[in-house]
Amino acid sequence: MDRWSGHVDADDAPLRPWVGGRGQNLSFGAVAVRFSAVEVPVGSDCRCGMRLEADWGHAETHAVHHAVWSFGVQVPRNLEWLDDLAVVTTQSSIGWRRLVYKAARLPQKENHYDFRSWTHLGEPEKTEGDLRAYLLKANGYVIGYLVAHDADYHRSWDLVDDSPDGDADERLRPRIDLVWVADVYRRQGVGAALVQKLADDFGCRVGDVSWSTPISDAGLNLARQLSPDGIWIS
Ligand SMILES: [Zn+2]
């Protein structure tokens, strides 16, 4: 029933908008939109780690998260960046450690990890192996995140023979716990630049860094690109 006029279409009448007495009705003479079923091969999981089919009333949550996953974490105004890359340790001020915590949520969600790679939100404290995060800023956002600590238990992984059970090694090396790049900045060498920075900061060559296992496909691609013959894993 039309709510203004009380007009009721007969049961067998074709579906069409009711045209009232107004001078201009832009739906006058309109033809009904046609519908049809299509089998589309779309999954239900988004690459950012959230579900495409959001729970009722939570569509906004995914949209917000997806934007952060795509562009990076917005840099708070109260943190003074003196250059593109910031090295945050467990002894840095809380504002910096909170920013690392925010960045750590993105790979956690994307890869469905149970734990965040950064949890140091208490008082500044020294950690064994000097746990630290490298935050790369571009266009006002943190677009790259690498968390690492120094460790002295490694094995070599020959990438040519693809044998991951190589010799044990006890030299102190910087160990990559996780490396993540915002989606729109991927495949442009950002991850490689972060690993290079880690090596420079420690004072070793890029092939001397160690990669934590299990290593993701994306991580292995990056490792192979930086060190084609073989890598250190721990
Ligand atoms: Zn998404």
What pLDDT does residue 98 have? 97
Burial class (CB in 10 A: 0-12, 13-18, 19+), 218: middle
Q: Which of 93, 185, 175 is nearest to 136 (CA)?
A: 185
Q: How far apart are CA 184 and CA 158, in angstroms?
A: 32
Looking at residue 2, its pLDDT comes to: 64
Q: Which residue has the higher pLDDT, 6 or 153?
A: 153
Topology of the domain covering 59-233: Aminopeptidase (3.40.630)
Q: What is the tens place of the pLDDT at every residue in 114-125?
A: 999 999 999 999
Q: How far is the CA of 80 from the centre of ligand 1 (A)?
A: 30
Distance 94 CA to ligand 1 centre (A): 29
CA 117 / ligand 1 centre spacing (Å): 20
Write down the pTM of the prediction.
Answer: 0.84
At residue 5 the predicted structure's pLDDT band, cuts being 50, 70 and 90, is: low
Specify the pLDDT at position 40.
83
Q: What SS3 class is residue 201?
A: helix
Q: Which two tokens stand for residue 121?
A: 């939100």
pLDDT tens string 141-168: 999 999 999 999 999 999 988 877 888 9
Residue 49 Cα to ligand 1 middle (Å): 6
Taking the centre of ligand 1 as the mean of its atom positions, its distance from the CA of residue 48, in whole angstroms, is 4
Confidence of residue 15 (pLDDT cuts 50, 70, 90): low
107 Cα to the center of ligand 1, angstroms = 12
The string of pLDDT tens digits covering residues 165-223 is: 888 999 999 999 999 999 999 999 999 999 999 999 999 999 999 999 988 889 999 99
Average pLDDT score over the chain: 91
Distance 66 CA to ligand 1 centre (A): 4
